[in-house]
């Protein structure tokens, strides 16, 4: 069967990866890795978007003409969804992102076509640089886990107006499906988070949180899964030897263990999970 990766497939099957560096889970306001322009483009191309229902859940009940601050906006995958809402619903989006390469994609592909409703901001969730009380919603999509929860919560409280809301959203592979669970281990998909509703996400001064989740799927191929693996932070920080082993392991798993052909279409199940909390009284 053809080999879809850069490294040869292991003759004896699965090859254990080299010992990895400790995972980065908190960055103190510093981007965990500064991606290249090419990596920013790849991230935007292979990462999935978000269900419309999840975007609506973040905004529901807050009225019209909302000003939204999105922290850790990346290349603008969630920002696009916000910008799809009519201006009467979402008046403006300040998309805060510390990576210059990702911000460049966001500016070109989202902000430039938004008629001034979306602007890219160089900042972090802990230090947005935005004015006090400028937002009705602060949301982090696929990014809250990179932030210091205490500092980012305090910053969200500062920029939110009374009656506003803080929210966090994640797309994650559905690890309740056995073959996907093993896939995440091979890919070192460290952004697969526990979706338990009782787990708090935000820090003081935010209080009770609401939780929601949505199940969905997308169609991909073995090559698409290789590209998805190469967009993840573990891969981007890894040495070439580790990357070669990950490539060989994924080839073995998809082609030899699961028996998929090189160009075969696969259904990849996802879960989107979200938390939200009202702005604290001033």
Cβ neighbors of 198 (< 8 A, separation 6 or more) are none
pLDDT at 4: 36
Mean pLDDT of 211-228: 94
Residue 182 to residue 92: CA distance in whole angstroms: 41
Confidence band for 40, pLDDT divided at 50, 70 and 90 = low
Model confidence over 3-12: pLDDT tens digits? 333 333 334 4
Give the pLDDT of residue 95: 98
pLDDT (tens digit per residue) in 53-109: 999 999 999 999 999 999 999 999 999 999 999 999 999 999 999 989 889 999 999
pLDDT tens digit string along 170-179? 999 998 899 9
Strands 210-220 and 160-173: unpaired
What residues does 65 pair with on adjacent strands? none
What's the confidence (pLDDT) of residue 195?
61
Token pair 């698409």 is found at: 224
More confident residue, 230 or 88: 88
pLDDT at residue 1 greater than cutoff 60:
no
What does pTM read for this prediction? 0.83
pLDDT tens for residues 191-205?
Answer: 555 566 667 899 999
Give the DSSP H/E element, type plus range, for residue 268: strand 266-278
Percentage of the residues of the chain whose pLDDT score is greater than 90: 70
State both tokens at 225: 């899964």
Q: What is the pLDDT of residue 231?
A: 82
- Whole-angstrom distance between the N-terminal and C-terminal Cα of the chain? 63
Please give the radius of gyration of the chain, using alpha carbons only, rounded to the nearest integer.
19
């Amino acid at each position: 069967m053809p080999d879809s990766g850069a490294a040869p497939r292991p003759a004896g099957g699965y090859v254990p990866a080299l010992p990895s560096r400790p995972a980065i889970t908190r960055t103190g306001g510093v981007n965990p890795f500064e991606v290249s322009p090419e990596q920013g483009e790849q991230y935007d191309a292979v990462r999935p978007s978000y269900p419309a229902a999840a975007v609506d859940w973040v905004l529901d009940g807050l009225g019209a003409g909302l000003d939204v601050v999105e922290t850790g906006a990346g290349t603008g995958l969630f920002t696009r969804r916000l910008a799809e809402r009519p201006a009467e619903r979402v008046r403006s989006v300040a998309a805060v992102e510390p990576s210059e390469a990702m911000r460049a994609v966001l500016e070109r592909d989202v902000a430039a076509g938004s008629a001034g409703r979306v602007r890219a901001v160089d900042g972090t969730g802990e230090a947005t640089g935005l004015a006090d009380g400028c937002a009705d919603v602060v949301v982090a999509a696929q990014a809250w886990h990179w932030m210091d929860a205490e500092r980012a919560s305090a910053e969200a409280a500062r920029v939110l107006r009374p009656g506003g809301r803080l929210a966090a959203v994640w797309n994650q592979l559905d690890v309740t499906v056995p073959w996907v669970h093993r896939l995440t281990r091979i890919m070192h998909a460290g952004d697969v988070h526990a979706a338990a509703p009782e787990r708090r996400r935000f820090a003081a001064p935010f209080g009770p949180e609401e939780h929601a989740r949505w199940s969905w799927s997308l169609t991909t191929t073995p090559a698409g899964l290789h590209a998805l693996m190469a967009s993840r932070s573990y891969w981007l920080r890894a040495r070439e030897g580790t990357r070669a082993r990950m490539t060989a392991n994924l080839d073995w798993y998809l082609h030899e263990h699961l028996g998929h052909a090189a160009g075969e279409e696969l259904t990849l199940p996802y879960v989107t999970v979200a938390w939200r909390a009202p702005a604290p009284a001033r």
